[in-house]
């Protein structure tokens, strides 16, 4: 794999997003259910521009980063698989022509629901119960953050590709 500025930025974004989600935002007093899934937003932004295979790959890698940032998920790897699926699904929203602003958002909503389902399933399996309100709060927070962050990420991605830095 050829290292590129875009690749480096992706890694930086995913790692800082994971740290933001696990440490900084809760520390700043954001209630845990309202912490947006910033990693998922990054995965979706990359996937909608390049397709399902790329989305799955980025999702899997980003999922592992998020998984390994303590607290490490249990069972380990499930989150990575969920994000891989979410990335693949988001990638299927790709369109070769310049997409509308709405398309990445729809992909984010679908991917968000997918991740939510995966987490709910693992919660039901592990704890025998599910806090539906908290899950919906997370989804709402993710979509809300996506409204701002996703267009920015997509624009940056496109600009870097246009300048042959991706």
Partner 1 sequence: MSNQSKPRLLGLLLVATLVVLVGDLSGHPAADAIRSAAGTVVGPAQRFLAGVRPAQVAQLSAENAELRAEADRLSRQLHVQSQLEELVGAGVVTGRTAVIGQVVASEVSAVGGRSLTLDVGSHDGVVVDSTVVSAAGLVGRVVAVAPWTCDVQLLGAAQSLVAVRVGERGLLGTVAPVPVGGGDDSTQLALTLAQPGNPHVGDRVTTLGSVGGRPYAPGITLGRVVSVDPDRGRDTVTGRVVPAVDRESIDVVAVLIPEARAQPRPVVGDRTGEEPRVG
Q: How many Cα neighbours within 13 Å face the side chain of 125?
A: 9
Residue 116 and residue 134 in contact, taking contact as beta carbons nearer than 8 Å = no
Q: What distance in Å separates the CA atoms of residue 43 and residue 80, rounded to the nearest whole number?
A: 12
Residues within window 25-84 making contact with partner 1, judged by CB under 8 A: 27, 53-54, 56-57, 60-61, 64, 68-70, 72, 74-78, 80-81, 84
What number of chain residues touch partner 1 (CB under 8 A)?
Answer: 26
Using N-to-C axis directions, what is the helix angle for 52-68 and 78-91, rounded to 10°?
150
Residues within window 137-156 making contact with partner 1, judged by CB under 8 A: none
Closer by beta carbon to partner 1, 82 or else 138: 82
Which residues bind to partner 1, rule: CB under 8 A? 1-2, 19, 22-24, 27, 53-54, 56-57, 60-61, 64, 68-70, 72, 74-78, 80-81, 84
């Amino acid at each position: 794999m050829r290292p590129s500025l875009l690749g480096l930025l992706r890694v930086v974004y995913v790692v800082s997003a994971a740290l933001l989600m696990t440490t900084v935002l809760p520390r700043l007093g954001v209630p845990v259910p309202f912490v947006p899934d910033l990693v998922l937003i990054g995965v979706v932004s990359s996937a909608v521009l390049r397709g399902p295979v790329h989305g799955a790959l980025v999702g899997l890698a980003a999922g592992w980063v998020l998984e390994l940032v303590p607290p490490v998920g249990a069972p380990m790897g499930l989150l990575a698989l969920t994000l891989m699926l979410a990335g693949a699904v988001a990638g299927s929203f790709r369109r070769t022509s310049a997409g509308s602003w709405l398309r990445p958002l729809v992909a984010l909503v679908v991917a968000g629901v997918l991740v939510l389902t995966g987490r709910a399933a693992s919660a039901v399996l592990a704890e025998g119960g599910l806090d539906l309100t908290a899950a919906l709060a997370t989804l709402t927070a993710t979509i809300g953050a996506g409204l701002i962050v996703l267009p920015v990420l997509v624009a940056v991605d496109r600009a870097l590709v246009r300048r042959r830095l991706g």
